[in-house]
Structure 1
Amino acid sequence: MKSELLIEKIHSRSNNLDFIRLIAAVLVIVSHSYPITGQQTELFSSISRGQWTFGGIAVSIFFVISGFLISKSYEHSNLKQFILNRILRLFPAIWIVTILTVLVLGPLLTTLTLSEYFRNYSTWSYFNNAFLISIQYGLPGVFENNVYPSAINGSIWTLPYEILCYIGLAIIGYYGLIKKGKGVLLLFIIIFILNSIIPQQLLNTNIHGFLLGSLLELILYFLMGAIFYSYRESIKLKPIWAIGCIVVLIITMQLGNFKGAFLFCGSYLIVFFAFYGKSIFSKVSKYGDLSYGIYIYAFPVQQIVQWKLNNQTSPFINFMISLPITLMFAFFSWHLVEKQALKFKKNTSNSSANQLKGDVNQCN
């Protein structure tokens, strides 16, 4: 079986990254359809004997790809441009979904009078979500009788963690640790050890809205993506290694430690399927990069479906109704909001068109 060096593939516009992110975003909808409809055990949780969910896998995929692409982006921009690029990619879409949630969804669905709704402090404090500060999940009188009560957008909890990863990468990039590679690897090893030895009770500690365990875990996936980029000149994409990774994941799915195996084997598979051989799914991006829009619109759409059908839905029905509606919102989010913001990035950047393309393909 032939192998290919990663560095030989990453500069091509023809890759499967958009497709992988799209699948991950859809998996989040699948995963959320279970708690939203009152089902206790999610599909992959059953398959893996309670080790993980499709949602957890999807978020990990996002962070691996993000670590890889954001590392690439940092090397093609200065610190000021890097910060601006991240703001333009992340915030415009979340601003719009927050405004629509507070000023459209809330007034239409609240059980309160409009006067009571708009006088309630929680209505206006929800706007903090637009800046990903102190995430608030509910609005007064909205979805209070749903099976999964009050939560309007449970997906956005990961976005503040991603911002922390951006900040951390900017710091290590400033000191040249991305180019050196060993610095990123050393940081990964330190956090991996900490995540392994810290007691579970302490990992459950909430630090200013961040769960320590979730923070360390997501940083590890982000750094794994950064490691793949830093060592791109040495890493080979070999089918036999990919097959070995699949076998390991299947075994650990039944015997245990699947999450630990996925950190290494899953990350390799993500990069392998993104860049190895002919990128047969690269054309999916011609419709737009819909994964971020899917991620931030799906949960409220699923809750609306549940509310509209009087909580009488199954995970399958909720998913099948919610998916096309969410895709519509994601399509308009990309073409009317996200793409327009990226045009401003293009106008203010000194980077080449190819570098812009790399920046556009950022993870959520």
Structure 2
Amino acid sequence: MAEAYRGRANSFGALRLAFALVVVLSHTAALGFGRPLMQRLDVGDVAVAGFFTISGFLIVRSARRSSVPRFLWHRALRIWPGLWVCLLLTGLVVAPLLYLDRHGTVDGLWRSPGGALDYLRQNWWGGLRQLGISDLLQGDTPYWRWQGGNTINGSLWTLAYEFYCYLLVAVLAALTILRRQLRWLPLLGAVGAFGVICWNYFLHGSDGQGIWMTGTIGPLPLLGVLQQNDLLWFGFMFLLGGVAELYSDRLPINDVLGVLALVVFGWFAVSGTFFGPGLVAYAYVILWLAVRLPKALHRVGHRNDYSYGVYIYSFVVQQVMAKFGVQAIGLLGFFTASALVSTGLAMLSWHWVEKPALRLKNWTPSKLRERPDEPAPPRGGGPTEDVSEGSTAAPPSRFPAPEFHREAAVASAPA
């Protein structure tokens, strides 16, 4: 992998965008038609798991090349500005318009419990502590009639798990565990998580019981409450990506292995028993495709990374479209229309918010800057971090939350 993965010569950007669109497709059936896209497999969850694998690889690589404060600063710039603008547009533009359509006034929207200001305050730092705003969407959408969910942007719930993984990497970096001599510790963690997932399946099947399959963690500062089962599964995928980066000098990239892993992943997916071995095969397929897909795809996401914007805006777009009956054009038409609108918003988010924010990645507080009369310390000659590294998405659906969980979430999922 170390030889095959060279700077921008990879398709991680194309894969991230593809995963984001798969999440949109998964949500198309749930939000537009009140049903899962597939009965035996939540493709949204699979896409989010892919996001976490890519994120693990790129985030660990970023942490190994930066100081811990700089690493955390880069992660904050990549996630928060885009999220904040999305929340503001949802709470201050979309919500008032929907509330006005429903009540003929905006009185009661702002400061009432569960209103727009509470929505912004609860979700400002990531995660999804408040799912809906006031009584918007209640009884007005296929998703409400199917699951009773008043969720206005369900995709955001996976961001808390992404942040948790970032903080874990920062701790490992601070403890020097990401260095070559100690890289066996994250590998041991991945092996342990794999064992737990396999143990749960063989003892309990897919009934949702077992070690770390029930219960919550938290509430944690800023992140809120995390579901243990989601943290186990998506944390495992993140670990697989991170370990692949740590052992990139030993990880073979072989086309025979890639095709074999694709067959194994496909068998587990079709059979509906998608657990430990299938997840490992899936992670290998992602890394293999990242360096084996046609070179034409290497350009996707390197200059302009729209995957994150597609992920965080698509759920809102589809909920609004579903409220006004756009799904009448059929599943394919609804997917195409919502994907186009979401991509348009993602482009605006990237060029007006995310990319300008990333220009601050090398900013340093004045008190920490070198004094002009002091010589600068020698610098290493390693490659600089790609600003698109660590962009996530989450997923999509990738995932569940209290009122908005698994099938109820439609989203899969981490993002």
Q: Do they fold alike, i.e. is TM over 0.5? A: yes
Correspondence list, 1:156-195, <5 A: 156-179=156-179, 180-195=182-197
Say whether the 8 Å CA contact 2:4–2:253 is kept in structure 1: no
Change in CA separation of 1:311 and 1:247 when aligned onto 2, cut-off 3 Å: closer
Q: Does 1:120 align with 2:109?
A: no
- The alignment's C-alpha RMSD in Å is 2.2
Q: Does 1:70 align with 2:96?
A: no
Aligned match of 1:143 in 125, 137, 141?
A: 137
Aligned match of 1:321 in 325, 334, 337?
A: 337
Say whether the 8 Å CA contact 2:19–2:51 is kept in structure 1: yes
Q: Percent identity?
A: 28
Aligned match of 1:222 in 238, 245, 266?
A: 238
Shift of 1:253: 3.3
Change in CA separation of 1:286 and 1:310 when aligned onto 2, cut-off 3 Å: closer
Cα shift readout 1:132-152 (whole Å, capped 9, x = no counterpart) = 255211011322211113211
Query: What's 1:340 paired with?
Result: 356
Q: Does 1:205 align with 2:198?
A: no
Cα shift readout 1:188-228 (whole Å, capped 9, x = no counterpart) = 12223334446634613233321111111011000000010
- Structure 1 counterpart of 2:215, one-letter code: T
Q: Which runs of 5+ in 1 are unaligned?
A: 1-5
Aligned match of 2:388 in 344, 360, 363?
A: 360
**Number of aligned positions between the proteins:** 352
| Structure-2 separation of matches of 1:221 and 1:342 | 26
| Structure-1 separation of matches of 2:79 and 2:351 | 15
| Structure-1 separation of matches of 2:195 and 2:358 | 38
- 1:8 partner SS: coil
Change in CA separation of 1:242 and 1:37 when aligned onto 2, cut-off 3 Å: same
Say whether the 8 Å CA contact 1:305–1:321 is kept in structure 2: no
Query: What's 1:3 paired with?
Result: none
Query: What's 2:15 paired with?
Result: 20
| Structure-2 separation of matches of 1:97 and 1:167 | 23
- 2:296 partner SS: coil
Shift of 1:239: 0.4
| Structure-2 separation of matches of 1:245 and 1:221 | 15
Change in CA separation of 1:29 and 1:213 when aligned onto 2, cut-off 3 Å: same
Cα shift readout 1:51-103 (whole Å, capped 9, x = no counterpart) = x2221111011000000000000011111111111111110000000011110
Say whether the 8 Å CA contact 1:37–1:313 is kept in structure 2: no
Query: What's 1:266 paired with?
Result: 282
> Hey, which of these two has a bigger chunk of helix by percent?
1
- Structure 1 counterpart of 2:50, one-letter code: I
- Structure 2 counterpart of 1:125, one-letter code: D
Q: Which runs of 5+ in 2 are unaligned?
A: 145-149, 219-224, 366-378, 393-415
Tell me the TM-score normalized by structure 2: 0.79
Shift of 1:279: 2.6
Query: What's 1:305 paired with?
Result: 321
Query: What's 2:97 paired with?
Result: 108
Shift of 1:262: 3.2
Say whether the 8 Å CA contact 1:74–1:82 is kept in structure 2: yes
Query: What's 1:285 paired with?
Result: 301
Change in CA separation of 1:82 and 1:287 when aligned onto 2, cut-off 3 Å: closer
Q: Does 1:239 align with 2:255?
A: yes
Query: What's 1:53 paired with?
Result: 42
- Structure 1 counterpart of 2:173, one-letter code: G
